[in-house]
Amino acid sequence: MAVPAAMELVDLALRATIAYERPDLGARLQHTRSRLEDPNVRVLVVGEFKQGKSQLVNALINAPVCPVDDDLATAVPTAVKYAESPAVTLIWEAAPGEQRPPRRTDVPIEQLARYVSEAGNPGNRQGLSRAEVGLPRNLLKDGLVLVDTPGVGGLGSAHGAATMATLPTADAVLLVSDASQEYTAPELEFLSVAMRLCPNVAGVITKTDLYPQWRRITDLDRGHRAAAGIRAELWGGAWGRRRAAVRSDDAELNAESGFAALVTYLRTEVLARADELDRRSTSQDVLAVADRMAAGMRAELAAQQNPEYAGALVADLEQARGRAAALKDRSARWQHTLNDGVQDLTADIDYDLRDRLRAIGREAEQLLDDGDPRDIWDQFSEWLEQQVASATSANFVWAGQRAEWLAGQVAEHFAADGNALLPALRTARCSDGGHVQRLEKPEDERMGFGQKLYVGARGGYGGMLMIGLATTLAGMALLNPLSIGAGLLFGGKTVREEQQRQKERRKAEAKTAVRKHIDEITFQVGKDSRDMLRALQRRLRDHFTALADELQTSIDSSVKAAQKAVSTDGTVRGRRIKDLEAELARITALEDRARALVAPKRKVLA
């Protein structure tokens, strides 16, 4: 949401760059203004399947937009944002390696369920990246965007890994869990990870009107969060009471539903903190621009006030100009730190991911060797998805932390060489995580009574014939007790061998399915990590290159101004000193407005 005071400050600074003929600084401020004009404040609604995520979104905006079903409902991420009239846009991202913009298609809002629900688009067969829904709602008017994420497989699954990749791009996360049971281990782990990747994280206990024991469940959840060291708000939500409160316009019933407090949280914490971040980054950008504009004036003022020292000042500025020019060179220290750091980090992250998943693969194969996939598959698949989700989450968190550390190192080296005021770097918006198929269940081949009879008869016939022929040498008939007994033994042995063969085939197919699933996870999560690091490299490279250009332009201006001051006579010098002091006073006033823009720090909620 654009902050009016920040927009006014940027416009004032833009007019100053035009007046002082610094178009290079104006380009930076244009980026700042574009960022302020982006109203989107993304809130991810996540959780295990069938916890009430879609109902929560519908209740918040008071409209049955996201499809709700007794079975698995949401198959495609659905972003609900403000629009003057209802509209739906379907988005297909380009495949990896394709250089083309996303494909967008508008459809009637009544047809949304055909594309984003499991009933209309099972397993996302249509390959949608996401859907965007526009609605005229006051809650969304300030830029709030609610993203209903797929719940198939829950947090401990491939979808959980894809959701984890989007956390750094979100302004807030709402973890949804219904009141039927207390938090599970994957939910607590997700909360812990989300706290490290997202500035605002809260929990919502849904369906409190359906479970009388919801208060006890909520107390238990608070205890689990406290034991895990997780500091996040926890709200209750009763969709039935919310709907009744809206119909009857009953404020008291609306408060009882829990949605009034949740809406207040979204407005006062999520939107307010986004505004605070906009204010802080805008203040830093304007301060940096003001410092660049004032640099030349300060140099000229020093030369005008002390002409005898102008020569030494020019010499110092010439040295500074050389250092500024060196900052843009590929051999600059910050360039080496950035390039080498990204290469090392990419290799480390890829190795860490593969190492974690290989260990899981080895343990999974051992479990399959020790049991029959037919008997343990449900428990095994749930265990595997939780292990994979945990490993990929840990890998992604580590990648994010290492990337932040690298950005700090690059900034340190640049500041040491360039002595520049460095604005805060903000994470760019990224596309939603890629779609990962669930673990495929091997084909379950069972031996029926007829098949057992056929296999047993086939094996028993050979045994009976062999022993029967041997006993005929002793004068016995072909069919005798020994040959019949041998036939039964051979038949039973053949049936057991066939059952063992089928079991070994099930194990082989299960292992193949596990390897395929892990390969797909490695490919998708590895791509997400590499994309993040490449984006980081480009942002840092462009950011610091632009800073180097600005620094060099400022120093060039300072050198020219100082050289010009040497040849100025006394009368003109006096007038010029007054002009420079007045201009610097205006820039100082601009800097004071930039510092005043920064809001005081908000108290951290328990």
Tell which of 257, 285, 304 closes a domain.
257
402 vs 569, higher pLDDT: 402
Q: What's the rounded Cα separation, in Å, for the pair 41 and 470?
A: 87
Contact 555, 317 (CB under 8 A): yes
Mean per-residue pLDDT, 33-42: 81
- Whether the pLDDT of residue 243 is over 50: the answer is yes
- Whether the pLDDT of residue 65 is over 80: the answer is yes
Q: Which of 399, 46, 78, 44 is nearest to 190 (CA)?
A: 46
10 vs 170, higher pLDDT: 10
Q: What's the rounded Cα separation, in Å, for the pair 435 and 440?
A: 15
Q: Which of 203, 204, 209 is nearest to 253 (CA)?
A: 209
Q: What's the rounded Cα separation, in Å, for the pair 6 and 526?
A: 38
Tell which of 230, 257, 284 closes a domain.
257
Mean per-residue pLDDT, 501-519: 84
Indicate whether 155 and 57 sit together in one domain.
yes
pLDDT for position 431: 43
Indicate whether 50 and 194 sit together in one domain.
yes
Q: What's the rounded Cα separation, in Å, for the pair 233 and 148?
A: 19
Maximum Cα interatomic distance, the chain, rounded to a whole number of Å: 143
Is 492 contained in some domain? yes
> What are 235's strand-pairing partners?
204
Helix (H) or strand (E) holding 79: strand 78-82
Indicate whether 252 and 340 sit together in one domain.
no
Residue 297: pLDDT band by 50, 70, 90 thresholds?
A: confident
226: left (phi over 0), alpha (psi -120 to 50) or beta: alpha
- Walk across the sheet containing 144-148 and list its strands: 103-107, 87-92, 130-135, 78-82, 144-148, 41-46, 172-178, 201-206, 233-237
- Whether the pLDDT of residue 267 is over 80: the answer is yes
Indicate whether 236 and 343 sit together in one domain.
no
Mean per-residue pLDDT, 214-227: 87
Indicate whether 422 and 515 sit together in one domain.
yes
pTM of the full predicted structure? Answer: 0.66
Is 86 contained in some domain? yes
Mean per-residue pLDDT, 392-409: 79
Indicate whether 442 and 552 sit together in one domain.
yes
Residue 355: pLDDT band by 50, 70, 90 thresholds?
A: very high
Among residues of the chain, what percentage have pLDDT more than 70? 76
| Rounded (5°) CA angle 424-427-433 | 170
The residue range of the domain holding 394 is 331-561
- Whether the pLDDT of residue 51 is over 70: the answer is yes
Which of 175-189, 266-280, 298-312 has the least mean pLDDT? 298-312
Indicate whether 537 and 398 sit together in one domain.
yes
Is 459 contained in some domain? yes
Task: Check which CATH number belongs to the domain holding 52 and give it.
Answer: 3.40.50.300
Is 316 contained in some domain? no
Tell which of 231, 257, 283 closes a domain.
257
Indicate whether 557 and 409 sit together in one domain.
yes
Contact 200, 233 (CB under 8 A): no
Q: What's the rounded Cα separation, in Å, for the pair 283 and 9?
A: 9
Is 485 contained in some domain? yes
Which of 69-78, 208-217, 339-348 has the least mean pLDDT? 69-78
Mean per-residue pLDDT, 118-138: 82
Query: CB-based burial of residue 285 (10 Å sphere; 0-12 exposed, 13-18 middle, 19+ buried)?
Result: buried
Q: How many CB atoms lie within 10 A of CB 30?
A: 14
Mean per-residue pLDDT, 133-152: 84
pLDDT for position 550: 74
Handedness of CA 560, 562, 563, 564 (dihedral sign): positive
Type of residue at 535 = A
359 vs 251, higher pLDDT: 359
Residue 433: pLDDT band by 50, 70, 90 thresholds?
A: very low
- Whether the pLDDT of residue 452 is over 70: the answer is no
Instruction: Encode burial over 242-251: b for 16+ CB neighbours within 10 A, e otherwise.
Output: bbbbeeeeee
Which residues have CB under 8 Å from 24's CB, separation 6+? 546, 549, 550, 553
The DSSP letter of residue 69 is -
Mean per-residue pLDDT, 170-183: 86
Is 471 contained in some domain? yes
For 337, the token pair is 């730190």
Is 357 contained in some domain? yes
Is 267 contained in some domain? no
Q: What's the rounded Cα separation, in Å, for the pair 571 and 564?
A: 15
Average pLDDT of the chain is 77
Mean per-residue pLDDT, 260-286: 84
Q: What's the rounded Cα separation, in Å, for the pair 346 and 158?
A: 21
Helix (H) or strand (E) holding 320: helix 310-327
Indicate whether 244 and 342 sit together in one domain.
no
Q: What's the rounded Cα separation, in Å, for the pair 410 and 333?
A: 9
Mean per-residue pLDDT, 3-26: 86
Tally of domains in the chain: 2
Indicate whether 346 and 238 sit together in one domain.
no
Q: What's the rounded Cα separation, in Å, for the pair 418 and 327?
A: 7
- Whether the pLDDT of residue 600 is over 50: the answer is yes
563 vs 16, higher pLDDT: 16
Indicate whether 247 and 338 sit together in one domain.
no
